[in-house]
A and B are shown apart, each in its own frame.
Chain A
């Protein structure tokens, strides 16, 4: 392994690093929005839309991101929907992540103590008010560790974007290997780059989980 080669490749990797972060960011934000909407439909038992969102969740969770991406990027154009690789990548991540976020958020809502719901009812809150002032604020707090775990999962999944040639980290490393045969160096930098992103997040997750177990709402 040669340090000069590593140094020379740094600029390309830095670019890829930011791209990975950017794509993850859009994908995660989108996934959280989809997750919120899906939990909302489920919590309020909205007819029809709830069934649609349940079907979406099953499809999204039980198929691989790679196939989702191939479908969006290669199959959709054949039926007249054409989007760029980047847009396909972000859409795929949102499609996949939305269901994971929905499970995390709904899990939090279910974790809200029954007595909290009952005391809300006892002061005459309607179902909507109960959601707004009691169940969602508390439930979302409870779901933070699960959301954080999904954030890590989704960032790792961006490595699959390489199959539709988005120049994120993994794709860049494979490029370096293909062009210059700098296998060891490229893989080394690649692992380090993911570690830089994911180790702090993983530590934060451990901390959040520990806090959640102790119960952050010390009632």
Chain B
């Protein structure tokens, strides 16, 4: 073999290009997580209210995002927004929108679960000192629920990061897409480039996700020990 395969990663600008692709994925993850988590906090709080109409609508919203695979969600927004609503968004924006709505749905369930596990007497004690509804959430319920939400939220982050690997399906220039281009362009020189490029991408994803999931597990364990 004239060329050792691993050199494909360092030939020309390849390595920087791959990292650039990774940054696109990271950017989309961060934006959609920030928006999705904030929206999810609101929706989760709303889901603990008694209003049956609101609850049903939000439940259906969650179930829709739970049942339809993320790939399909991406295609739905990617094809249908421009065609039927005349909204032309770049693929990156579509991805952020889909991920943010999906995160909001999952987050609303995490938030709701944590809120309803705050003991009832806490709420009553808050009402007894005259707090109104939003104050009750702001000062009593949310602060106590946050600790319970954190591990699940971190796990959601790793899910979002892993799901960014699907971006190439709607032609976003993410790390996988760039990886494919590099493999194609170097097919003559590096016939087994796929092994090294996909291997590197595999490792990059692992390096992003592993610390997060280890952290989530650590927090979960600590909570279980305190309980």
Contacts and interface: CB of A to CB of B under 8 A. Distances in A.
- Given a CB threshold of 8 Å, the question of whether A touches B is answered with yes
Contact of B79 (A65, A170, A177, A202): A177
Contacts of B63: 202
B61 interface: no
A176 to B, nearest CB: 12
B1 to A, nearest CB: 12
Interface stretch (A25-33, A67-75, A116-124): A67-75
Nearest to A110: B224
Contact of A191 (B68, B70, B202, B213): B68
A208 to B, nearest CB: 15
A141 interface: no
Given A75-B199, A191-B68, A58 B210 contact: yes
A64 B165 contact: yes
Interface stretch (A40-48, A129-137, A159-167): A159-167
Contact of A194 (B68, B162, B194): B68
Interface centre among B69, B202, B210, B213 (most CB of A within 10 A): B69
The number of chain A residues touching the other chain, given as a range, is 35 or more
A61 B155 CA distance: 11
Given A67-B165, A187-B75, A191-B68, A59 B206 contact: yes
Contact of A184 (B66, B67, B84, B209): B84
Specify the main secondary structure of chain B where it touches its partner: helix
Given A66-B176, A70-B176, A194-B69, A187 B76 contact: yes
B163 A174 contact: no
A74 B165 CA distance: 16
B80 interface: yes
B72 A187 contact: yes
A183 B158 CA distance: 31
Interface in B187-223: 191-192, 194-195, 198-199, 201-202, 205-206, 209-210, 213
B69 A64 contact: no
Contacts of A78: 5, 191-192, 194-195
B31 interface: no
Interface in B66-99: 66-72, 75-76, 79-80, 83-84
A124 to B, nearest CB: 30
Contact of A75 (B75, B169, B198): B198
Contacts of A199: 67
Contacts of A177: 79
Given A156-B70, A191-B72, 14 more contacts: A62-B162, A62-B209, A64-B165, A64-B166, A65-B162, A67-B198, A74-B198, A75-B199, A159-B71, A159-B72, A174-B75, A184-B84, A187-B79, A195-B67
Interface of A: 58-59, 61-68, 70-71, 74-75, 78-79, 156-157, 159-160, 162-163, 170, 173-174, 177, 183-184, 187, 190-191, 194-195, 198-199, 202
6 contacts: A64-B162, A70-B198, A74-B198, A75-B192, A156-B69, A191-B72
